[in-house]
Amino acid sequence: GAVVSQHPSRVICKSGTSVKIECRSLDFQATTMFWYRQFPKQSLMLMATSNEGSKATYEQGVEKDKFLINHASLTLSTLTVTSAHPEDSSFYICSARTRELINYSYNEQFFGPGTRLTVL
Amino acid sequence: AQSVTQPDIHITVSEGASLELRCNYSYGATPYLFWYVQSPGQGLQLLLKYFSGDTLVQGIKGFEAEFKRSQSSFNLRKPSVHWSDAAEYFCAVAITSGTYKYIFGTGTRLKVLA
């Protein structure tokens, strides 16, 4: 249980284009989803938190106009990197939190496998 | 301030040797603690977690961790390391008072010598 998927797993794009990454909870409803960024050999950095049907809350220093987050349903959140540049190349990981407390703890996040973005 | 410290950036052990990875946290409320492992290019895999109860928790792949409230620590151990354990290990604490989020440590990279 508590499976989170991400698509695509890898994406290469040209500088100036936009890229969308999908995060889906496959067997539970995700009331909250989180987006992280991980640079090589570094820890995960929280970018933003999104609740279904409401605007995302961005961490300090994260450009909300560059990293657009949409949490349109209880099983899907998307991260769009707009006008991507080489410095946006990174590993992006999403996670989800659920209120289905019969099976899961509300204090635990379930992580997707990550998306490797390379901007040329 | 809330934080997680993993003092060892790199650890090298021989295959078959025991392992202990250190994790200290700073958080005033009840900690919900996690250990994750990440292989190169992969996502996070949960090894074990502590929410309450027995302070010695067992996880997957033969790992265990002990929660010591007096030392604000949650160290990860394995009695005999396998070459496949070479990876990056992250300790995390869930912040549940105020705005919920995870705080991750900086990670410990484990190298296993054959």
CATH superfamily of B3-113: Immunoglobulins (2.60.40.10)
pLDDT at B87: 97
Phi-psi region of A103 (alpha: psi -120 to 50; beta: other; left: phi over 0): alpha
Helices and strands, number each (H, E), in chain A = 0, 11
Q: Find the chain A residues whose C-beta atoms sit closer than 8 A to any C-beta of B.
A: 32, 34, 41-44, 46, 49, 93, 95, 97, 105, 107-109, 111-114, 116
- Residue ranges, chain A, pLDDT below 70: none
**Cβ atoms within 10 A of the Cβ of B86, count?**
17
Phi, psi torsion values for A5, nearest 5 degrees: -115, 155
Distance between CA atoms of residues A107 and A86, nearest Å: 35
Q: Calculate the average pLDDT of chain A.
A: 94
pLDDT at B98: 82
The shortest C-alpha distance from B40 to chain A (Å) reads 9
Distance between CA atoms of residues A73 and B43, nearest Å: 23
CA distances from B37 to A2, A37, B56 (A): 17, 16, 19
pLDDT at B1: 82
Distance between CA atoms of residues A93 and A76, nearest Å: 14
Distance between CA atoms of residues A69 and A74, nearest Å: 14
Mean pLDDT per block of 10 residues along chain B (114 residues) reads 94 97 92 95 94 94 96 97 97 91 96 96
Condensed to tens digits (0 to 9), the pLDDT of residues B48-72 reads 999 999 999 999 999 999 999 999 9
- Say yes or no: B89 contacts chain A, CB-CB below 8 A: no
pLDDT at B30: 84
Nearest to A43 among B42, B51, B106 (CB): B106
Domain residue limits, chain B: 3-113
Phi, psi torsion values for B9, nearest 5 degrees: -75, -40
pLDDT at A72: 84
CA distances from B63 to A51, A56, B21 (A): 34, 36, 11
pLDDT at A54: 85
